[in-house]
Amino acid sequence: MCRSIKTLRPPALPEEATEEDIRAAALQYVRKVSGFRAPAAHNREVFDRAVEAVAEATAELLGGLEVRGVPARGGAAS
Protein backbone atom coordinates (compact mmCIF):
# COMPACT_ATOMS: atom_id res chain seq x y z
CA MET A 1 0.00 0.00 0.00
CA CYS A 2 2.76 2.49 0.83
CA ARG A 3 6.51 2.59 1.04
CA SER A 4 8.33 2.38 4.34
CA ILE A 5 8.72 5.57 6.31
CA LYS A 6 12.42 6.42 6.49
CA THR A 7 14.29 7.66 9.55
CA LEU A 8 14.64 11.44 9.36
CA ARG A 9 17.22 12.10 12.07
CA PRO A 10 20.99 12.01 11.89
CA PRO A 11 22.97 9.93 11.34
CA ALA A 12 20.40 7.98 9.29
CA LEU A 13 19.76 11.12 7.24
CA PRO A 14 23.05 12.97 6.74
CA GLU A 15 21.40 16.38 6.31
CA GLU A 16 18.55 18.05 8.14
CA ALA A 17 15.18 16.70 7.06
CA THR A 18 13.40 19.04 4.67
CA GLU A 19 9.78 20.11 4.93
CA GLU A 20 9.15 17.83 1.95
CA ASP A 21 10.76 14.85 3.76
CA ILE A 22 8.63 15.49 6.84
CA ARG A 23 5.40 15.89 4.89
CA ALA A 24 6.07 12.72 2.86
CA ALA A 25 6.59 10.73 6.05
CA ALA A 26 3.41 12.22 7.57
CA LEU A 27 1.42 11.34 4.46
CA GLN A 28 2.70 7.76 4.51
CA TYR A 29 1.80 7.44 8.18
CA VAL A 30 -1.75 8.74 7.69
CA ARG A 31 -2.22 6.50 4.65
CA LYS A 32 -1.10 3.47 6.60
CA VAL A 33 -3.19 4.21 9.69
CA SER A 34 -6.34 5.16 7.77
CA GLY A 35 -6.04 2.40 5.17
CA PHE A 36 -6.67 4.93 2.40
CA ARG A 37 -4.15 5.84 -0.27
CA ALA A 38 -6.43 8.69 -1.31
CA PRO A 39 -9.50 9.46 0.78
CA ALA A 40 -12.98 9.95 -0.63
CA ALA A 41 -14.14 13.55 -0.97
CA HIS A 42 -16.12 13.38 2.28
CA ASN A 43 -12.94 12.34 4.17
CA ARG A 44 -10.47 14.69 2.44
CA GLU A 45 -10.58 17.47 5.04
CA VAL A 46 -9.95 15.24 8.06
CA PHE A 47 -7.27 13.30 6.13
CA ASP A 48 -5.44 16.52 5.21
CA ARG A 49 -5.71 17.85 8.78
CA ALA A 50 -4.21 14.62 10.07
CA VAL A 51 -1.28 14.88 7.63
CA GLU A 52 -0.61 18.46 8.76
CA ALA A 53 -0.83 17.54 12.46
CA VAL A 54 1.57 14.61 12.03
CA ALA A 55 3.97 16.78 10.00
CA GLU A 56 3.96 19.46 12.71
CA ALA A 57 4.55 16.90 15.46
CA THR A 58 7.37 15.34 13.43
CA ALA A 59 9.06 18.71 12.87
CA GLU A 60 8.78 19.47 16.59
CA LEU A 61 10.23 16.07 17.48
CA LEU A 62 13.15 16.38 15.08
CA GLY A 63 13.85 19.93 16.24
CA GLY A 64 14.03 18.87 19.87
CA LEU A 65 15.96 15.60 19.62
CA GLU A 66 19.47 15.46 21.00
CA VAL A 67 21.49 12.75 19.30
CA ARG A 68 24.87 11.85 20.80
CA GLY A 69 27.76 12.66 18.50
CA VAL A 70 25.64 14.88 16.25
CA PRO A 71 25.57 18.67 16.66
CA ALA A 72 22.20 20.04 17.79
CA ARG A 73 20.00 21.48 15.06
CA GLY A 74 18.73 25.01 15.11
CA GLY A 75 15.19 23.71 14.58
CA ALA A 76 13.30 21.56 12.12
CA ALA A 77 11.84 22.75 8.83
CA SER A 78 8.31 23.99 9.13
Sequence-ordered list of residues with C-beta below 8 angstroms from that of 5, at least 6 positions apart, any chain: 25, 28, 29
pLDDT at 24: 94
pLDDT at 78: 46
pLDDT at position 4 = 72
Q: How far apart are CA 24 and CA 1, in angstroms?
A: 14
Predicted TM-score (pTM) of the model is: 0.79
Residues of the chain with pLDDT under 50: 1-2, 76, 78
